[in-house]
Amino acid sequence: MLLSFVDESNHGDFHGFAAVVADEHSTKSLTGTLNAIMRHAGVDWGLDCTTEFHAYPMFHGKEVWSAVPARARVGLFHKVVDAIVDEPVVLILRSVNETRLRERQTKNYYPSTSRRSKCVFNTSCSAWIGSLDGTPHTH
């Protein structure tokens, strides 16, 4: 079984998402490594062991990360990235420029209802995930 962990970003006209796709063994191993990194950060910087690694607050020193110096935050970020790439996982990065997407949809007469847009998005995601685990894609 594959598991997918997805995060999205929205900055004006830019929309993107990243996903880590892993089997249950890699997920368990990665979770253990990330928990260990956070336990060490808790000892060093007083963070609660349930604190999540989110790039924006880490980079900008927001929320609980405000008590952690910039160099330490960068070091922790590197440890998190290293932990992810050390596991046999698939990383998916996708982005779209909203203005260009709307122009293309208008030119190709795509339906404009939000229900249809969600359906198209979900179908596309199912195709990606299906191609990752070898299962056939069905609508």
Q: What is the pLDDT of residue 29?
A: 97
CA distance 43 to 64: 14
Q: What is the pLDDT of residue 113?
A: 54
Q: What is the pLDDT of residue 123?
A: 42
Segments making up each domain of the chain, as ranges: 2-97, 109-139
Q: Which of 36, 25, 24, 19 is nearest to 76 (CA)?
A: 36
* Ramachandran angles phi, psi of 96, nearest 5°: -150, 140
Q: What is the pLDDT of residue 116?
A: 45
**Under-50 pLDDT residues of the chain:** 116-130, 136-139
**Residue 105 to residues 17, 77, 98, 100, 110, Cα–Cα distance (Å):** 20, 38, 10, 9, 5
**DSSP calls for the chain:** -EEEEEEEEEETTEEEEEEEEEEHHHHHHHHHHHHHHHHHHHHHH---TT----HHHHHHT-GGGGGS-HHHHHHHHHHHHHHHHTSS-EEEEEEEEHHHHHHHHHHTT----HHHHHHHHHHHHHHHHHHHHTPPP--
Q: What is the pLDDT of residue 42?
A: 95
